[in-house]
Amino acid sequence: MIAGIIAAGHVARANPGLRLGLDVLAFGDEEGSRFRSTLTSSSACAGVFDASALGFPDRDGVTLADAIKAYGKNPAEIAAAAYRPADVAGYIEAHIEQGPVLEAENLPLGIVTGIVGQTRMRVVVLGEQGHAGTVPMTMRRDALTGAAEIILDIERTAREHGADRMVATVGRIEASPGATNVIPGRVGFSLEVRSLTDDLRRGAIATIRKDAQFVATGRKIEVTFEPFHETETTACDPAMQDLLENAIGDLGLATTRMPSGAGHDAQIMARLCPAAMLFVRCRGGVSHNPAEYASPHDMGLAVAALIRFIERFAAAQA
């Protein structure tokens, strides 16, 4: 967002006759850290906000609607706040790569070809709660050992589908009742699957569900999958990719084209207008971690590339 402010400010000052409006956007709730929904701000901007997300509760039972009201805003006005497609020529987003590719290729900037699709699910395993001392191993219907087997199957399925083409992650898990001396009767965990094509992801999820059912049958437990979020693979606009490559070339830099394994607001904005993304090299591919780092030098190059891109984009519109 800061890069956008700097770049837009420079373009406006350096091009007094510019016939292009520039909005710099700061989106909230991209990650879905608090609610089960993700990308809600950009969905509102793009006019594709799903009102059912307003009812999603956080861990304390506060819904998204409650949180918006507590912030002094009215959820009923979300739909009317969207951009109109006729008013928007394009969307560009700069982001750290969050992966190891640019560092490995010794390039400061990359051009995103598309954003992987992803499916998020809540998985619930039901066994039978029991006393940890008196129920023999052979008579147990332990929801946690069942979940462990399912989680390892998920990992194996993602690996077999190719490390560069698909990833699957279990990031949250809770065992109930959650006491040291009680066999868990219920386990819930999150499952997130991302892939470079929608077919690949859907096929893998079918395999995961079939394998999990096999585990459940063998252990006399139950397993259910509840998908709550799905985004399809999003292609970035080819003409904007070319403009971005030229803009980076203007700086005398080489670059590369690459997919994004992470989800971004650009995938939502692509439903409103042509969209593009500029990736900035980061250290060690580390992200979602306090050690996440991009150098000030690379960030400066990204701002310069954004400036050249906007100028080229404006010229192309004229």
Among the candidate windows 18-26, 190-198, 232-240, 249-257, which touches a copy of itself by CB under 8 A?
A: 190-198
Among the candidate windows 4-12, 81-89, 180-188, 197-205, which touches a copy of itself by CB under 8 A?
A: 180-188
Residues 191-250 that bind a copy of itself (CB under 8 A): 192, 194
Decide whether 75 or 146 has the Cβ nearer to a copy of itself: 146
Mark residues 153-172: x for contact with a copy of itself by CB under 8 A, - for none.
--x--xx---xx-xxxxxxx
**Sequence-distant (≥ 6) Cβ neighbours of residue 180 within 8 angstroms:** 132
Among the candidate windows 50-58, 150-158, 199-207, 240-248, which touches a copy of itself by CB under 8 A?
A: 150-158
Decide whether 106 or 138 has the Cβ nearer to a copy of itself: 138
Binder of a copy of itself out of 183, 208, 270, 277 (CB under 8 A): 183
Q: How far is the CB of 280 from a copy of itself (least distance, A)?
A: 13
Residue 97 sits in the site that holds a copy of itself (CB under 8 A) = yes
Binder of a copy of itself out of 137, 252, 296, 318 (CB under 8 A): 137
Residue 188 sits in the site that holds a copy of itself (CB under 8 A) = no
Cβ proximity of 109 and 278 under 8 Å? yes
Cβ proximity of 255 and 248 under 8 Å? yes
Among the candidate windows 12-20, 105-113, 115-123, 306-314, which touches a copy of itself by CB under 8 A?
A: 115-123
Q: How far is the CB of 5 from a copy of itself (least distance, A)?
A: 25
Residues 248-287 that bind a copy of itself (CB under 8 A): 260-263, 285-287
Residue 1 sits in the site that holds a copy of itself (CB under 8 A) = no
Among the candidate windows 64-72, 175-183, 199-207, 265-273, which touches a copy of itself by CB under 8 A?
A: 175-183
Q: How far is the CB of 97 from a copy of itself (least distance, A)?
A: 7
Among the candidate windows 45-53, 66-74, 114-122, 201-209, which touches a copy of itself by CB under 8 A?
A: 114-122
**Phi, psi (deg, nearest 5) at residue 40:** -70, -40
Decide whether 83 or 228 has the Cβ nearer to a copy of itself: 228
Query: How far, in Å, CA of 145 to CA of 132, rounded?
Result: 13
- SS3 letters for the chain? CHHHHHHHHHHHHHCCCCCCCCCCCCCCCCCCCCCCCCCHHHHHHHCCCCHHHHHCECCCCCEHHHHHHHCCCCHHHCHHHCCCHHHCCCEEEEEECCCCHHHHHCCCEEEEEEECEEEEEEEEEECCCEECCCCCHHHCCCHHHHHHHHHHHHHHHHHHCCCCCEEEECCCEEEECCCCCEECCEEEEEEEEEECCHHHHHHHHHHHHHHHHHHHHHHCCEEEEEEEEEECCEECCHHHHHHHHHHHHHCCCCCEEEEECCCCHHHHHCCCCCEEEEEECCHHHCCCCCCCCCCHHHHHHHHHHHHHHHHHHHHHHC
Q: Which residues bind a copy of itself (CB under 8 A)?
A: 31-33, 36, 38, 97-100, 116, 118, 120, 128-139, 142, 144-145, 147-149, 151-152, 155, 158-159, 163-164, 166-175, 178-185, 190, 192, 194, 260-263, 285-289
